[in-house]
């Protein structure tokens, strides 16, 4: 596929191959964008922002509604594309398309809800003849930098609100999974988006990222990815708005009154979905010492039943990781944990991009599988003595994106909600749960700002104060 810059679909002599991570077959190639391409894209987007500024709220709504309708018509193709380029099983690929449609639909609705408010200036002494109100205006040009693991929906979470707010967008999809983003770009243009309001630049982030994020004409950056890259972006960005949705090692607390079978099912579903390549995957499982053995007895067969294989096979529950090097890294971290006293209860094997669903037990907080973001199909299980111990262990992390607890005790649930340092808190559910309309973002090194159309739209606008002196 070609990339889209300056109102044109552009090919280049130097290209990047896009491989199917399951069988390494070549799906397509995309141009290898350069800093010069980014410069051209931003220059075009500045003009696109002017065009967007002339659209009414209803016109922006209509464009996004048509986008959602076209996505629904092409849902199977989009789902197949996601699975082929990213590796998640086809049920997850199709599910991502449906979520993406809802994200765009929600963004469309928000285009009609942008408004200011009157400010009672006479509430302060001496202000007798002043009338004030606020208005919201677009920031201008938004840089959207997307990850590989949700190559359509997380692009929609950036592009949809940006368009709803009246901005132009320079989109940089992940190098491993650019095809879904390019197809979305085609759909947006077909739906009537001004031709310079969207740019889609393909290429290695390390080569073009600094040029994009450092450009002063970019007024907002929205990024999903690793903490290390997010830190680099923030340092390079200068004075502009940023939303950083970064990594995590999400804890799941299992109290003594939990339904063990229910928790075991939730653990495997949330730990191994998309081969564990989800920023809110269950990674650290903290089980009350009194039910620790019973939980492991339930978790082992549930994990063994989580079969792997060709992600296009409807019977398969887990496909490959995105790269063989990532599967190797997960294997190395597990081996390191075993060397430090942990043991593998189930799984542990890997070959190429395929890594078996794995349960590592008797883990310690200082082990890499507990300390860092694993981003792979393995969960680390440890025990605690009481609620105080559990909450302390959950907070013993530089991350704070999502956390879960299973309990019927309202006091424990409320302490969890109040004391755990995380942006998303789930009671009687795993950390890997997200409704696309909710405010979604993390604390600590998990980032800043919120996604979710309503919340993202406000972060992609500027608030202006207008005062009439009568």
pLDDT in tens, 187-225: 999 999 999 999 999 999 988 999 999 999 999 999 999
Secondary structure (3-state) at 179 = helix
Q: pTM above 0.95? A: yes
Q: pLDDT tens for residues 414-465?
A: 999 999 999 999 999 999 999 999 999 999 999 999 999 999 999 999 999 9
**CA neighbours closer than 13 Å in the CB half-sphere of residue 167:** 34
Instruction: Compute CA distances 264 → 249, 261, 403, whole Å.
Output: 18, 5, 16
Task: Please state, in angstroms and as integers, the Cα–Cα distance from residue 51 to each residue in 158, 253, 415, following that order.
Answer: 19, 50, 50
Structural tokens at position 231: 């830190």
Q: Which CATH architecture has domain 3-246+446-469?
A: 3-Layer(aba) Sandwich (3.40)
The SS3 call for residue 403 is: strand
Place of tokens 């409704």: 435
- pLDDT band (50, 70, 90) for residue 130: very high
Whether 336 sits among the annotated catalytic residues: the reply is no
Give the residue from 305, 382, 367, 379 showing the smallest Cα distance to 336: 367
Compute the distance between CA of residue 403 and CA of residue 390 in angstroms, rounded to an integer: 12
Domain boundaries along the sequence of the chain: 3-246+446-469, 251-435
What superfamily does domain 251-435 belong to in CATH? Answer: Aldehyde Dehydrogenase; Chain A, domain 2 (3.40.309.10)
- C-alpha to C-alpha distance for 77 and 69, rounded to whole angstroms: 14
Residue 431, token pair as written in the block: 């950390």
DSSP code for 422: -
Nearest-CA neighbor of 183 among 165, 196, 202?
202
What totals of helices (H) and strands (E) does the chain contain, helices first? 15, 24
Both tokens of 305, joined, read: 């039943």
pLDDT of 278 strictly over 90: yes
Q: Which of 245, 373, 451, 459 is catalytic?
A: 245
**Euclidean distance between CA atoms 284 and 213, whole angstroms:** 33
Domain 3-246+446-469 matches domain 251-435 at the CATH topology level: no
Segment holding 417, helix H or strand E: helix 410-419
The torsion region of residue 389 among left (phi > 0), alpha (psi -120 to 50) and beta comes to: alpha
Q: What's the pLDDT band for 339 if we cut at 50, 70, 90?
A: very high
Catalytic residue among 92, 96, 196, 279: 279
Residue 292: C-alpha distances to residues 285, 296, 362, 381, 389 (Å): 10, 6, 10, 9, 14
Mean pLDDT of the region 375-399: 98
Confidence of residue 325 (pLDDT cuts 50, 70, 90): very high
Classified as helix, coil or strand, 250 is coil
Return the pLDDT at 206.
86
Q: What percent of the chain has pLDDT over 70?
A: 100
pLDDT score for 280? 98
C-alpha span between 277 and 374 (Å, rounded): 9
Q: Is residue 279 flagged as an active site residue?
A: yes
Closest CA to 144 of 6, 40, 30, 45: 45
Residue 159 has pLDDT above 90, yes or no: yes
pLDDT (mean) for 241-268: 97
Q: What is the reported pLDDT for 207?
A: 87
In this structure, what DSSP letter does residue 364 have?
-
Return the pLDDT at 109: 98
């Amino acid at each position: 596929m070609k990339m889209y810059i300056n109102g044109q679909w552009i090919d280049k002599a130097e290209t990047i191959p896009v491989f199917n991570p399951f069988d390494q077959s070549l799906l397509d190639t995309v141009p290898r964008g350069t800093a010069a391409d980014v410069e051209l894209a931003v220059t075009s987007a500045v003009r696109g922002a002017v065009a967007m500024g002339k659209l009414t709220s209803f016109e922006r709504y209509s464009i996004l509604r048509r986008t959602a309708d076209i996505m629904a018509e092409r849902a199977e193709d989009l789902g197949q594309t996601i699975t082929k380029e990213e590796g998640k099983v086809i049920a997850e690929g199709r599910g991502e398309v449906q979520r993406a449609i809802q994200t765009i639909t929600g963004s469309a609705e928000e285009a009609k809800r942008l408004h200011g408010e009157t400010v009672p200036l006479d509430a302060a002494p001496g202000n007798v003849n002043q009338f004030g109100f606020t208005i919201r205006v677009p920031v201008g040009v938004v840089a959207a930098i997307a990850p590989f693991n949700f190559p359509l929906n997380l692009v929609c979470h950036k592009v949809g609100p940006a368009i709803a707010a009246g901005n132009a967008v320079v989109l940089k999809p992940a190098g491993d999974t650019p095809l879904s983003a390019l197809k979305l770009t085609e759909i947006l243009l077909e739906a009537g988006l001004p031709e310079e309001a969207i740019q889609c630049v393909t290429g290695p982030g390390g080569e073009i990222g600094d040029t994009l994020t450092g450009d002063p004409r970019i007024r907002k950056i929205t990024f999903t990815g690793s903490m290390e890259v997010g830190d680099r972006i923030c340092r390079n960005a200068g004075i502009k708005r940023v939303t950083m949705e970064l990594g995590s090692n999400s804890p799941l607390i299992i109290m003594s009154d939990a339904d063990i079978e229910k928790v075991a099912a939730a653990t495997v579903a949330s730990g191994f979905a998309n081969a564990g390549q989800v920023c809110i995957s269950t990674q650290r499982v903290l089980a009350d010492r009194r039910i620790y053995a019973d939980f492991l007895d339930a978790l082992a067969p549930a994990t063994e039943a989580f079969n792997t294989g060709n992600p296009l096979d409807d019977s398969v529950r887990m496909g490959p990781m995105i790269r063989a090097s990532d599967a190797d890294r997960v294997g190395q971290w597990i081996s390191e944990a075993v060397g430090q006293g942990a043991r593998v209860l189930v799984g542990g094997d890997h070959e190429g991009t395929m890594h078996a669903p794995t349960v590592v037990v008797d883990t310690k907080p200082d082990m890499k599988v507990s300390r860092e973001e694993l981003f792979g199909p393995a969960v680390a299980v440890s025990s605690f003595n009481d609620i105080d111990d559990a909450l302390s262990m959950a907070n013993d992390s530089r991350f704070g994106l999502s956390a879960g607890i299973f309990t019927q005790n309202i006091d424990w649930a409320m302490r969890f909600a109040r004391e755990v340092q995380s942006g998303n808190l789930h009671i009687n559910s795993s950390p890997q749960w997200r409704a696309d309309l909710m405010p979604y973002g993390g604390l600590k090194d998990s980032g800043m700002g919120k996604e979710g159309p309503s919340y993202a739209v406000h972060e992609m606008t500027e608030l202006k104060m207008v005062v009439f002196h009568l």
